[in-house]
Chains A and B, each alone.
Chain A
């Protein structure tokens, strides 16, 4: 266990210990302990970033060499490791955690211990997912995130929170069970590969790299099944179009901090899992079925966008908007070229920041007016101008205004989708990939729909004639406009939005190496696959991986 591995492990263990500590200590101290643990999380994330060797950002670093054997018989080891993508998402999670704790100081008054306890317990589960290099470790953490979220929604939500919490839990849980089935199938397939093919074949081994090679050796039919099993699980988490109905319910019922972390990081588990499992594991099947997933994504974008427009509840509107936004993210992911993948990873981070911030603003408004419906609210800019500014700022960020973070990721996703698969038409801009210009054109209309519903929200809630819920007079600890604490949170989220909007190179440079590895799987230059003397290529079904062949195959 290298000394560097300590960082990642402490990133998981300290908050976990803190959550237990919170449960034991008094109500009063719950928030302070939670705050301390989240700050430790931030410090550790920064230390990890410092130790991380950014020049070689593609390789798995800061990990344990062999990992702690959990179930030796099945080759399940608690091995950790982080590459640039995972590290950035950990930094996002670590960054959001203190803000959430700080943000819910006035929202939650009774049984703080359980609230802050579960909130702090959520962090190690999330980090576990990004850090895991072993399938079972990944899956355990992937499931563990559901429990705190369930408790947060069911005991701290608003009106019919129980139903929403159970639906959220069961929906995601069934999905991930199917995904587990698919992944275990790969492990079994790996079991009866003959050991000569590659290191780790022919035995029970759940290391992700080994399973990836095994999955790639699968014939197309089986790969298709594994693809759909994994997609069934992870698409629910992303919420991709047909399986998204749990999100609006979960969001409207979750407490402010709950929906921030749900939109901020939990949805990214799905896209991260797809990037880490679906795309590298089943290259042929992905090429075969990418068009279907892209169609779902596009339908999601336009369909959810239009639904936002008729919503009467602000939080449901923003929830549907994240379904629509993540449609772009998935589209970029399945463009299978550098711009598309960069766009989708950037999207994960940007969406976390801007939609998380939007939920914070709505939470602040909810704490004052205790209602979220458009019918009895309007023109709040009159009473809360600072809040109106931040609300406008984050709406513009999520509508994809250039200069703010939303634009860069949306632009990259769309241009990635446009040029993916366009290497057939003349001109060098095109790259290999399953999608094409028409996908981008229709998805582009999503930008218009986004403008429609977000400006509808701004027009109703922030601008327009002033209207407060009848019989409302100002009370409670919070001032009419934002309190310094709330302004602090908004500024803390606004600055990264602006910085990432103006200088995305900060992230894109480091993402080039890991994403290049994913792309090489598709364009055939995967080092493991390519070199002749690697026995792996012998065992492999000799799929001719030159781009043109794959392209014909994809567009057959």
Chain B
């Protein structure tokens, strides 16, 4: 067991000591069962074996075409899922201490031994608590499902083993990220997933666009990673530790690791650390400034987009903020959380508008992911980690379903993704399961009442209004923007559904080479196109997905429906938050919102009082705990800001929690109706299913000119890419060339070569003195003599 954890003093949870609730319940930790450490290691081993297989295949010792690697990775992923599940069941419990399992010492440096000893300790260890179990459950589950899906989807591709090696490595690094017990492990996972997404996006490495997309993804992630890295350094410099348990205890007691008190109110780090971490999160979870890489990442094979760019990697940012929530709360004015909320909302709106105007269904799904991530961040911004986490949970399921469905369509129609060239799949033979899965995904995404997506989105929207403006300014306004975006989301989701699945049967196959470049052996020639006959549709017969894809689609569809259950099931003490709330309760992400009024289940309003009088700055002690509902905030000049009970916000005068069910449902339905009106088949009969005759309605096309330039702008992604190109890439390129010129001409040319040619120049200049004429030498001698005499004379005066 990890001796560091055991010798941690077992402080009584703050709840008990002071009656009031501390900012957050500090979760002290204890050693967990060793085998839990296998969870991240198993996929890594799978990846290594795949590499060996690939290496042997290259050497001709193993057949390159077998599906061995896929099943190998699938087996290991399933095993790690089972381990996670059993670990969770063993651990499950409110307020139980987090488990720490350390494999080995990684970075372990101590100096100035004796007094003032300092140390930087980052072990290869794992931290199991509610948050990490929640995340690991759906990461490993979705990982194995999508791996099964990919085993069939990727069959026939030459780089099969390479794909699954990267797949295994990805899940391994994701688990390191989620389970890591210190910030450096988080950083390890963070960059690890960045690398794997680089390898997987760039899977079709012969295609320049794929390589460019992969490079773009890695570099934009790297920009985010810099923010995270600097945040990490600042945390270490302030608290003296990067281990979670020490860090959270320090933040709870408002001291640094050595116990000397830190006055969060006045420290500049209290806002600097969360802002830096936020930048890291935005880089990884594709939020506003750094989201440009996600839509381009669709170049990769669909299982990659499903797993990485829908369910797991992009949620890493949300996980990190949830994990580091106590640090976000250090800042009395919550600057960082304001930024998170605002950027989340803005990204949601922006991505939704772009998503509406795209024609490539995978790109639409990508923008919808960016938009839903905006929701999750907004949820975090409104101080509801539970809402955010639950939306991550449900979104993982239904977005994976959607992506896989689109993948199946693309697989079947030889790479065709343009919704204008596909319609009426519902009634096609063999496509029924895909269409149903698509439908389930769409209703969840659109937030149709009683679906999982509805409940999770509702939680966030409710919190938007529930959190008073005094805590998060303009949270109400943001709530309304999010509601409007929910409508847009419903619209573009069903736009895809109606255009692709409903309506008359009409399809054109994409160019085969687009998707899986089946033949990589040497010659570059296109796959013999005649066989697929892309000119006249009758020759081309779409081949419906196989058993594996259908199985996975159905499982995930059911999963996304069942994802609604955790909203109701809850055995924790705060019934309103559901199972996800219980999970987060026993983790660092738990946060008791100060806003309160008679709670849904009637338990008394939670009053938040700074917990530990001992630590309190003197000036605070004499002021009675703010019993009354003092409006606004106590000026946080010197004392730890009193989060006394503030009046909860309301929506249109009603209690947000109850009212939100109806309001968000209304917005969702309006969106769907508009989509049906514009893109659905004519007449109510066609609305549903099976009407083959009605051609795709042209109402949408009729509406376009009336809207002016807006649709064109939206289609071109509001020219954000071009803007970045002009303001960042171009200047950098120009600077690079300038530096190159400076280096070659100025430093190397002028300075170095210049100086080295000085002696030769000087020699050339005095050569004429050697004129060969006797008299000039004599004159020189005489002049020299004269000068010497003169000098002697002058100095002798």
| B111 with A307: CB separation less than 8 A | no
Quick check: which of B102-110, B643-651, B712-720 contacts chain A, the rest being far away? B102-110
Assembled-state Cα–Cα distance A403/B194 (Å): 13
Give the Cβ gap from A380 to chain B, nearest Cβ, in Å.
11
| A310 with B737: CB separation less than 8 A | yes
| B230 with A429: CB separation less than 8 A | no
> Contacts A412-B107, A464-B211, A504-B107 known; A427 to B112 CB distance under 8 Å?
no
> Contacts A245-B748, A419-B233, A447-B225 known; A455 to B215 CB distance under 8 Å?
yes
Quick check: which of A81-89, A260-268, A437-445 contacts chain B, the rest being far away? A437-445
List A residues 449-474 near B (Cβ within 8 Å). 451-452, 455-456, 458-459, 462-466
Assembled-state Cα–Cα distance A337/B111 (Å): 9
Assembled-state Cα–Cα distance A516/B236 (Å): 20
As a 0/1 sequence over residues 402 to 444 of chain A, the CB contacts with chain B under 8 angstroms (1 = contact) are 1100011001101100110010011111110000010011001
| A437 with B206: CB separation less than 8 A | no
Which of chain B's residues has its CB closest to A520's CB?
A: B112
| A171 with B752: CB separation less than 8 A | yes
Chain B hits for A242, CB < 8 A: 747
Is B12 part of the contact surface with A, judged by Cβ < 8 Å? no
| A444 with B230: CB separation less than 8 A | yes
From the candidates B58, B214, B233, B258, name the one contacting A481 in the complex (CB within 8 A): B58
Assembled-state Cα–Cα distance A382/B236 (Å): 44
From the candidates A431, A464, A505, name the one contacting B118 in the complex (CB within 8 A): A431
Is B218 part of the contact surface with A, judged by Cβ < 8 Å? yes
> Contacts A307-B743, A310-B740, A339-B109 known; A463 to B202 CB distance under 8 Å?
yes
| A428 with B223: CB separation less than 8 A | no
| B256 with A338: CB separation less than 8 A | no
Chain B hits for A382, CB < 8 A: 206, 520, 522
| A445 with B739: CB separation less than 8 A | no
Assembled-state Cα–Cα distance A242/B747 (Å): 7
Assembled-state Cα–Cα distance A504/B122 (Å): 11
Chain A hits for B109, CB < 8 A: 338-339, 342, 412, 508, 512
Assembled-state Cα–Cα distance A503/B104 (Å): 8
From the candidates A306, A339, A455, name the one contacting B739 in the complex (CB within 8 A): A306
Chain A hits for B241, CB < 8 A: 429
Which of chain B's residues has its CB closest to A249's CB?
A: B748
Assembled-state Cα–Cα distance A426/B58 (Å): 57
| B215 with A456: CB separation less than 8 A | yes
| A426 with B226: CB separation less than 8 A | no
Give the Cβ gap from B525 to chain A, nearest Cβ, in Å.
13
> Contacts A415-B120, A503-B104, A519-B111 known; A430 to B237 CB distance under 8 Å?
yes
Is A70 part of the contact surface with B, judged by Cβ < 8 Å? no
| B111 with A310: CB separation less than 8 A | no
Give the Cβ gap from B110 to chain A, nearest Cβ, in Å.
7
Chain B hits for A419, CB < 8 A: 233, 236-237
Quick check: which of B185-193, B391-399, B469-477, B624-632 contacts chain A, the rest being far away? B185-193
| B205 with A464: CB separation less than 8 A | yes
Give the Cβ gap from A306 to chain B, nearest Cβ, in Å.
4
> Contacts A401-B192, A447-B222, A459-B211 known; A418 to B257 CB distance under 8 Å?
no
Give the Cβ gap from B170 to chain A, nearest Cβ, in Å.
13
> Contacts A171-B752, A379-B205, A419-B236 known; A451 to B218 CB distance under 8 Å?
yes
Chain B hits for A296, CB < 8 A: none
Is A303 part of the contact surface with B, judged by Cβ < 8 Å? yes
Is B768 part of the contact surface with A, judged by Cβ < 8 Å? no
From the candidates B234, B257, B263, B736, name the one contacting A428 in the complex (CB within 8 A): B257
Assembled-state Cα–Cα distance A514/B737 (Å): 43
| A401 with B739: CB separation less than 8 A | no
| B262 with A447: CB separation less than 8 A | no
| A437 with B234: CB separation less than 8 A | yes
Chain B hits for A428, CB < 8 A: 118, 239-240, 256-258, 260
List A residues 515-536 near B (Cβ within 8 Å). 515-516, 519, 523
Give the Cβ gap from A503 to chain B, nearest Cβ, in Å.
7
Is A93 part of the contact surface with B, judged by Cβ < 8 Å? no
As a 0/1 sequence over residues 204 to 247 of chain A, the CB contacts with chain B under 8 angstroms (1 = contact) are 00000000000000000000000000000000000000100110
Assembled-state Cα–Cα distance A223/B55 (Å): 57
Assembled-state Cα–Cα distance A381/B263 (Å): 56
Give the Cβ gap from B44 to chain A, nearest Cβ, in Å.
9
| B233 with A401: CB separation less than 8 A | no
Assembled-state Cα–Cα distance A455/B201 (Å): 13
As a 0/1 sequence over residues 480 to 518 of chain A, the CB contacts with chain B under 8 angstroms (1 = contact) are 010000000000000000000011110011001001100
| B195 with A306: CB separation less than 8 A | no
Chain A hits for B110, CB < 8 A: 338, 512
| A427 with B237: CB separation less than 8 A | yes
List B residues 503-522 near A (Cβ within 8 Å). 520, 522
Which of chain B's residues has its CB closest to A508's CB?
A: B109
| B205 with A422: CB separation less than 8 A | no
From the candidates A246, A437, A455, A516, name the one contacting B219 in the complex (CB within 8 A): A455
Assembled-state Cα–Cα distance A505/B122 (Å): 11
| A385 with B230: CB separation less than 8 A | no
Is A196 part of the contact surface with B, judged by Cβ < 8 Å? no
| B195 with A401: CB separation less than 8 A | yes
Chain B hits for A456, CB < 8 A: 215
Assembled-state Cα–Cα distance A256/B494 (Å): 60
Give the Cβ gap from B56 to chain A, nearest Cβ, in Å.
11
Assembled-state Cα–Cα distance A36/B120 (Å): 42
Chain B hits for A385, CB < 8 A: 58
List B residues 213-265 near A (Cβ within 8 Å). 214-215, 218-219, 222-223, 225-226, 229-230, 232-234, 236-241, 256-258, 260, 262-263
From the candidates A246, A396, A462, A466, name the one contacting B195 in the complex (CB within 8 A): A396
Assembled-state Cα–Cα distance A551/B316 (Å): 40
Chain A hits for B258, CB < 8 A: 428
Chain A hits for B226, CB < 8 A: 444-445, 447-448
| B219 with A381: CB separation less than 8 A | no
Give the Cβ gap from B158 to chain A, nearest Cβ, in Å.
10
Is B732 part of the contact surface with A, judged by Cβ < 8 Å? yes
Chain B hits for A407, CB < 8 A: 188, 191
Which of chain B's residues has its CB closest to A420's CB?
A: B237
Is A545 part of the contact surface with B, judged by Cβ < 8 Å? no
Is A309 part of the contact surface with B, judged by Cβ < 8 Å? yes
Give the Cβ gap from A368 to chain B, nearest Cβ, in Å.
16
Assembled-state Cα–Cα distance A459/B58 (Å): 22
Interface pairs (23), CB distance under 8 Å: A245-B747, A310-B740, A339-B109, A379-B206, A386-B55, A401-B195, A418-B236, A427-B237, A427-B240, A427-B262, A427-B269, A428-B257, A429-B256, A451-B219, A455-B219, A456-B215, A459-B211, A459-B212, A462-B205, A463-B211, A503-B106, A516-B113, A519-B112
Q: Kindly list 19 other residue pairs between chains A and B, CB separation below 8 angstroms, not including A414-B233, A428-B260, A463-B205.
A: A245-B752, A246-B752, A303-B743, A306-B732, A306-B736, A309-B736, A310-B737, A386-B58, A402-B188, A402-B190, A415-B120, A428-B118, A428-B258, A437-B234, A437-B237, A458-B215, A464-B206, A466-B524, A509-B108
- 7 closest cross-chain pairs (CB), A and B: A338-B111, A427-B238, A429-B237, A402-B188, A463-B205, A245-B748, A418-B233
B residues apposed to A, CB below 8 Å: 51, 55, 58, 104-113, 118, 120, 124, 184, 187-188, 190-192, 195, 198, 202, 205-208, 211-212, 214-215, 218-219, 222-223, 225-226, 229-230, 232-234, 236-241, 256-258, 260, 262-263, 267, 269, 520, 522, 524, 732-733, 735-737, 739-740, 743, 747-748, 752, 756
